[in-house]
Chain A
Amino acid sequence: MKFANVMSNAGEWLRGEGPHHQIVISSRVRFARNLRNRAFPGWAKKAERAAILDLIKPRVEALPEMEDAFSELLQDLSATEKQVLVERHLISREHAAKSGGSAVVMNRRQTLSVMINEEDHLRIQSIRSGLQLKQAFKLVDKIDSALESELDFAYDPRLGYLTACPTNVGTGMRASAMLHLPGLVLSELINQVVQAVSKIGLAVRGLYGEGTEAMGNLFQISNQTTLGEKEDEIIGRLTKVIETLIEKEHNARQVLIQQKSNTLWDRIGRAYGVLTNAHAMSSKEALNLLSVIKLGIDLGAFPEEKRLSVDELFIETQPAHMQKSSQQKLNAEERDHLRAEIIRERLKVFPKPDIGKLAKQSGSGSAAESLSDE
Chain B
Amino acid sequence: MQKVNLCDACSKEKGVQDPTGFALADLLLGIGAAEEIEKGGSTQKCLVCGFTHADFKKTGRLGCSSCYEAFSEVLGSLLKAMHKGTEHVGKIPERAQRVLQLSDRMRSLNESLQKAVAEENYETAASLRDQIKQLESEIATRP
Give the residues from 137 to 158 in chain A that come closer than 8 angstroms, CB to CB, to chain B: 141, 144-145, 148-149, 152-158
Which of B3-11, B77-85, B107-115 lies at the interface with chain A? B77-85
Contact present for B83 and A226 (CB under 8 Å): yes
Whether the Cβ atoms of A167 and B28 lie closer than 8 Å is: yes
**Is A225 interfacial (CB-CB < 8 Å)?**
yes
Give min CB distance, A288 to chain B, whole Å: 25
Give A248 to B93 CA distance when docked, in angstroms: 39
List the one stretch of B13-21, B64-72, B121-129, B130-138 in contact with chain A: B64-72
Contact A153 B93 (CB under 8 A): yes
**B22 to chain A: closest CB distance in Å?**
17
| Bound: A152/B29 CA distance, A | 27
**Is B95 positioned at the interface, with any CB of A under 8 Å from its CB?**
yes
A162 at the interface (CB under 8 A from B): yes
Task: Tell me whether chain B's interface is mostly helix, strand or loop, or mixed.
Answer: loop
Q: Give A167 to B61 CA distance when docked, in angstroms.
A: 9
Within B35-83, the residues touching A (CB, 8 Å) are 48-49, 51, 55, 59-66, 68, 75, 78-79, 82-83
- In the assembled complex, the CB of A309 is this many whole angstroms from the nearest CB of chain B, namely 38
- Interface pair B89/A162, CB less than 8 Å apart: no
Q: Residue among A39, A169, A226 with the most chain B CB within 10 A?
A: A39
Q: Is the CB of B91 within 8 A of A227?
A: no
- How many angstroms from the CA of A39 to the CA of B83 in the assembled complex? 24
* Closest beta carbon of chain B to A108's beta carbon, Å: 27
Asked if A148 contacts B94 (CB within 8 A), the reply is yes
A171 to B85 alpha-carbon distance, docked (Å): 12
Q: Does A38 contact B (CB under 8 A)?
A: yes
Given A39-B64, A43-B51, A166-B29: A159 in contact with B88 (beta carbons within 8 A): yes
Does A40 contact B61, Cβ atoms closer than 8 Å? Answer: yes
Task: Give Cα A171–Cα B93 distance, bound, in whole angstroms.
Answer: 11
How far apart are the CA atoms of A170 and B84 in the complex, in Å?
Answer: 11
Say whether B100 contacts A167, CB under 8 Å. Answer: no
* Interface stretch (choices A78-86, A228-236, A344-352, A364-372): A228-236
Q: Which residues of B contact A154 (CB under 8 A)?
A: 64-65
Q: Which residues of B contact A144 (CB under 8 A)?
A: 91
Tell me if B86 is interfacial: C-beta within 8 Å of chain A.
yes
Question: In the complex, what's the smallest C-beta–C-beta distance from B6 to chain A, in angstroms?
Answer: 22
The interface residues of chain B lying within 8 Å CB-to-CB of A228 are: 83-89
A119 at the interface (CB under 8 A from B): yes
Contacts of B90 in A (CB 8 A): 160, 170-171, 173, 229-231
Q: Quick check: is B96 within 8 A (CB to CB) of the other chain? A: yes
Say yes or no: B93 contacts A155, CB within 8 Å. yes
Most chain A CB within a 10 A radius of its CB, from B59, B83, B85, B92 = B83
* A187 and B84 alpha carbons, distance in the complex (Å): 33
A110–B51 Cα distance when bound, in Å, is: 37
**A230 touching B51, Cβ below 8 Å:** no
Is the beta-carbon distance between A39 and B89 smaller than 8 angstroms? no
Residues on A with beta carbons closer than 8 Å to the beta carbon of B68: 156, 159, 162, 169
Q: Is A42 an interface residue (CB 8 A)?
A: yes
Q: B79–A166 contact, CB under 8 A?
A: yes
Complex contact A166–B82 (CB within 8 A): yes
Known: A227-B79, A229-B85, A229-B90. 7 other contacts (CB 8 A): A153-B95, A159-B79, A165-B28, A166-B75, A169-B79, A227-B83, A231-B91
Binding site for B on A (CB under 8 A): 34-40, 42-43, 119, 141, 144-145, 148-149, 152-162, 164-167, 169-171, 173, 201, 225-231
Q: What are the 7 tightest A-B residue pairs by CB atom distance, in nearest-first order?
A: A228-B85, A160-B88, A154-B65, A227-B83, A228-B84, A43-B63, A162-B65
